[in-house]
Chains A and B, each alone.
Chain A
Amino acid sequence: MSSLKAWKILGIILVLYSIIAGLLGNVPRLPVLNETIRNLYFHVTMWFAMIILLSISLFYSIKHLLYNPNEADKNLSILSSEWENNRFDSLASSSAHVAMMFGLIGLVTGMLWAQFTWGSFWVNDPKLNGTAVTLMVYSAYFILRSSFKDETAGNRISSIYNIFAYVLMIVFIGILPRLTDSLHPGNGGNPGFGSYDLDASMRWVFYPAIIGWALMGWWLVTLKRQIDRIEFIRRNELD
């Protein structure tokens, strides 16, 4: 069912390239940051991968709400058609799961970086607040998913919560950094990556790393979905 497709190979190559080039390549020598600037390739790319996967999750949640079960293929068995009717929702929840994993890795790499540059594992910073809110909101989403006995209603209502939470989160991430100062680049007088930190040689590792991690993330989503399918079949066969 799952074969090694071209995009998966591309993902492996890009991630391997970003790890090797990220650790061995040439980086600007900056005060305070020193060699920790290499963390840019591993920390910031996690956030980009997370936001990409959360956007995919939003897309499939909207598709799930707009989907009409009457369009389904009538030749399928009851079990398969029930799975097919919830396919968009299962994609949405798998993407959110993988995005949470990227979020946690991004948080840990960021905390380590903060310890060695700002002198503390946690600071009161809009970007960190945004992260904390995002992780809590999606934890609540998983709790909501698991609190329904009727799966069809549960999937639909968690999709609604997913859309609601995503939009508010994006509004928040868009608004708050403009209102308060941040230690992160690009806010409150601190120069952005674009201006001088991210020089040309770093771009050649940074952007491929984002694409690579997003592809690896999507691969994980497909794997998570297969696990969900096996669990779904086992659960219904036992009934």
Chain B
Amino acid sequence: MKKFYVIWHLIRLSLAYDGRNKQALYGIILYAVAVSYALSLVFSGSASTIIGVALIWMVLMFSGLQAAQRSAHLHSENRFFTAAQWSGPREWALAMMLYQMVFQALLSIFTWYMFKLWMGITPANEWIFLGLIALGSSAFAALTTFIAAISSRSQQTLGLMGILSIPILLPILLIGVVGSVAVVSSGTVVVGSYIAALSAMNLVILILGYLLFPYLWDE
């Protein structure tokens, strides 16, 4: 029970930190708005639904990478050691990943409505589509948060982030795109397996992060 309290407190700490750094938050929201508007200009209403789906997944993937770079400060030694004094590294890792997951999931839903507004895409079953996007984004977020922790331990943080994350992001991207195309083209298709696959990815990343994080700081 104490563990949950510690994790909840760490999440509130991150929330307070983001509240004080609103410009970073606005930057991410502006990214979602600007990119979806730029894409609608480029395609000027001629993008088919399938292309729209492919585009939104690419936008979500890169916004996941961006969010991780924003969270690089979370992995600075000072903040880590301050938090580690009263919580374990595992609780710290879980809290950071969960916070980023919820944040990215909400952001993905916001991005989707921007897309819908400007690109005019209508999936056959919107709720399942939203579920797929939110699950995919939260998996992106959990993964990039952990990779950001890895790359912050090396000397070349910024260059490494993309190199290390994109290959492992590809599986999630593929499952998400294949699932979304199935939902968009016919809402009656059974997509439970895609939801299950993405949830499994989320869970695996959380468990791996929980197990492996202490070794990152093992001096």
Q: Which residues of A approach B to under 8 Å, CB–CB?
A: 65, 129, 132-133, 136-137, 139-140, 143-144, 147-149, 153-154, 156-157, 159-161, 163-165, 167-169, 171-172, 175-176, 178-180
Residue pair B160, A147 in contact (C-beta under 8 Å): yes
Q: Which of B166-219 contact A (CB under 8 A)?
A: 166-168, 170-171, 174-175, 178-179, 193-194, 197, 200-201, 204-205, 208, 212, 215-216, 218
Neighbour of B200 across the interface among A137, A153, A154, A175, CB < 8 A: A175
Residue pair B168, A165 in contact (C-beta under 8 Å): yes
Write out the residue numbers on chain B whose beta carbons fall within 8 Å of the beta carbon of A167.
204, 208
Q: Which residue of A lies closest to B159 (CB)?
A: A147
Write out the residue numbers on chain B whose beta carbons fall within 8 Å of the beta carbon of A178.
193
Q: For the complex, give the distance between the alpha carbons of A148 and B216 in Å.
A: 14
Chain A interface SS verdict (over half): helix
Query: Which 10 residue pairs spanning A and B have beta carbons closest together?
Result: A172-B171, A136-B167, A137-B167, A147-B154, A175-B197, A160-B212, A65-B215, A133-B170, A140-B164, A140-B163
Q: For the complex, give the distance between the alpha carbons of A139 and B166 in Å.
A: 12
Q: Which residue of B lies closest to A141 (CB)?
A: B164
Write out the residue numbers on chain A whose beta carbons fall within 8 Å of the beta carbon of B205.
168
Residue pair B164, A179 in contact (C-beta under 8 Å): no
Q: Which of B37-57 contact A (CB under 8 A)?
A: none
Residue pair A133, B167 in contact (C-beta under 8 Å): yes
Write out the residue numbers on chain A whose beta carbons fall within 8 Å of the beta carbon of B193.
178-179
Q: Which residue of A lies closest to B193 (CB)?
A: A179
Q: For the complex, give the distance between the alpha carbons of A5 and B162 in Å.
A: 44
Neighbour of B150 across the interface among A157, A168, A169, CB < 8 A: A157
Shortest Cβ distance from B155 into chain A, in angstroms? 6
Q: Which residues of B approach A to under 8 Å, CB–CB?
A: 146, 150-151, 153-156, 160, 163-164, 166-168, 170-171, 174-175, 178-179, 193-194, 197, 200-201, 204-205, 208, 212, 215-216, 218
Q: For the complex, give the distance between the alpha carbons of A97 and B8 in Å.
A: 42
Q: For the complex, give the distance between the alpha carbons of A143 and B166 in Å.
A: 14
Residue pair A179, B168 in contact (C-beta under 8 Å): no
Q: For the complex, give the distance between the alpha carbons of A147 and B218 in Å.
A: 19
Residue pair A156, B167 in contact (C-beta under 8 Å): no
Q: For the complex, give the distance between the alpha carbons of A154 and B216 in Å.
A: 10
Q: For the complex, give the distance between the alpha carbons of A59 and B201 in Å.
A: 22
Neighbour of A179 across the interface among B150, B155, B194, CB < 8 A: B194
Shortest Cβ distance from B165 into chain A, in angstroms? 9
Write out the residue numbers on chain A whose beta carbons fall within 8 Å of the beta carbon of B168.
133, 137, 164-165, 168
Write out the residue numbers on chain A whose beta carbons fall within 8 Å of the beta carbon of B201.
168, 171, 175
Neighbour of B156 across the interface among A147, A157, A163, CB < 8 A: A147
A160 touching B154 in the complex, CB below 8 Å, given contacts A133-B167, A179-B194: no
Write out the residue numbers on chain A whose beta carbons fall within 8 Å of the beta carbon of B146.
164
Neighbour of B174 across the interface among A129, A139, A153, CB < 8 A: A129
Q: For the complex, give the distance between the alpha carbons of A99 and B198 in Å.
A: 28
